[in-house]
Amino acid sequence: MADLTTRRIMELQSRLRIRLAELGFEGVQASNVVHHLAEITALAQDLAIDSVPLFLELSPAHKQALTEVATHLKRDLDEIKDAIQDMEPDLTELLKYLQQR
């Protein structure tokens, strides 16, 4: 799953970088938005496609597996939260930039 997530992040970064360049939003702030938004999106996809369905499918009798999946869910959600917090100032700048155009 990690390789797939990495591929998703890299693909999204490339597409986001192109989009922001088309809009004329470049530099460090654009790089931060690209990095964090791609990471958030890929982690959210992992949650929706893999982790949450697995959590829902596991039998309550498999407590160890449920605990591992729940731990994975928490880790991914913490990473998403951190990425959102890290991206927020740069995303605000993107919004200001777009409103001024």
**Strand, coil or helix: what is 42?**
helix
First-residue to last-residue Cα distance in the chain:
40
Q: Which residue has the higher pLDDT, 72 or 1?
A: 72
**Residue 1: predicted pLDDT:** 57
**Residue 3: predicted pLDDT:** 85
**Residue 10: predicted pLDDT:** 94
Mean pLDDT of 38-50: 93
Question: Domain locations in the chain?
Answer: 2-100
Mean pLDDT of the chain: 94
